[in-house]
């Protein structure tokens, strides 16, 4: 279970009301039962249910079962697509180890309104399911030009270009490991000016994901998989 409280020997933890309901009504946990907790900083802890109250359950940390692990520094930059597809992609990004998802607006983005709290709940559940000990951050939409203007030193960009690029695996391996962002365009693709501008950036590796044009959600999932194979961990 993902919680926000610090986790340490003997510490009491009060999950949210929704989480308490899940623990008692779905998992049917009772006083004395054990469960695993993580908060993204203090590793994984075995905890036990101390009390079941009307206003929620009280848990106590018993022992650390895994030290904190951090995944690769992988960000997915996703242009706005249909809401249901964004939800699928953020879930898969959490499963495939992305540290964050940045939503973006490009020239041809035609985005539906997205509720960030819903995306946060999706990545939290996906992180719990995979057993990773951190939860990816999902960032509010920003214009692509602004993201590129504030680009951090040393970060590399895997630009997925549907009009063609180098085969992904050798191109990524040549660029090497480290902090990476993967950029996926909207259903309408990138404009010729955007493509030219992206290719001219010194940190860009422009890649093809194969001879077929993939939908943005399929492209995102296959790009993360190829990245993981080529340079990730």
Q: Which residues bind ligand SAM (CB under 6 A)?
A: 160-162, 184-185, 187-190, 208-210, 212-216, 219
160 C-beta neighbours (distance < 10 Å), count: 23
In the three-class reduction of DSSP (H, G, I as helix; E, B as strand; rest coil), residue 129 is classed as: helix
- Closer residue to ligand SAM in complex, CB, 39/106: 106
Residue 207 CB, shortest distance to ligand SAM, in Å, is: 6
Least distance to ligand SAM, CB of residue 77, Å? 10
Q: Tell me how far, at minimum, the Cβ of 108 lies from ligand SAM, in Å.
A: 8
Which C-beta is closer to ligand SAM: that of 55 or that of 212?
Answer: 212
Residue 35, classified by CB atoms within 10 Å of its CB into exposed (0-12), middle (13-18) or buried (19+), is: middle
CB of 184 to ligand SAM, least distance (A): 4
| For ligand SAM, the closer CB: 79 or 135 | 79
Q: Which residues pair with 38 in a beta bridge?
A: 2, 44
**Those residues with Cβ within 8 angstroms of residue 197's Cβ, 6 or more apart along the chain or in another chain:** 148
The smaller minimum CB distance to ligand SAM, of residues 13 and 101, is found at 101
CA distance 178 to 74: 9
Q: Which is nearer to ligand SAM, 47 or 209 (CB)?
A: 209
Q: Closest separation between CB of residue 75 and ligand SAM, Å?
A: 15
Question: Which position's Cβ is nearest ligand SAM?
Answer: 185
Q: How far apart are CA 181 and CA 53, in angstroms?
A: 45
Q: DSSP assignment, residue 46?
A: E
DSSP-H helix ranges across 78-215: 83-95, 116-130, 144-149, 168-175, 192-200
């Amino acid at each position: 279970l993902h919680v926000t409280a610090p986790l340490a020997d003997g510490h009491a933890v009060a999950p949210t009301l929704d989480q308490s309901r899940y623990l008692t009504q779905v998992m049917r946990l009772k006083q004395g039962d054990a469960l695993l907790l993580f908060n993204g900083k203090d590793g994984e802890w075995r905890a036990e249910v101390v009390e079941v109250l009307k206003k929620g359950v009280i848990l106590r940390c018993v022992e650390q079962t895994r030290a904190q692990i951090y995944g690769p520094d992988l960000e997915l930059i996703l242009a706005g697509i249909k809401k249901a597809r964004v939800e699928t992609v953020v879930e898969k990004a959490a499963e495939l180890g992305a540290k964050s998802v940045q939503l973006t607006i490009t020239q041809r983005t035609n985005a539906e309104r997205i509720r960030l709290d819903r995306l946060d709940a999706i990545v939290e559940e996906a992180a719990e399911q995979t057993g990773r000990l951190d939860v990816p951050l999902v960032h509010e939409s920003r214009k692509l030009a602004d993201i590129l203007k504030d680009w951090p030193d040393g970060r590399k960009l895997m630009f997925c270009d549907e009009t063609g690029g180098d085969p992904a695996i050798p191109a990524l391996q040549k660029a090497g490991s480290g902090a990476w962002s993967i950029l996926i365009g909207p259903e309408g693709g990138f404009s010729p000016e955007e493509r030219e501008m992206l290719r001219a950036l010194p940190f860009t590796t422009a890649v093809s994901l194969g001879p077929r044009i993939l939908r943005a959600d399929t492209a995102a999932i296959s790009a993360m998989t190829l990245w993981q194979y080529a340079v990730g961990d």
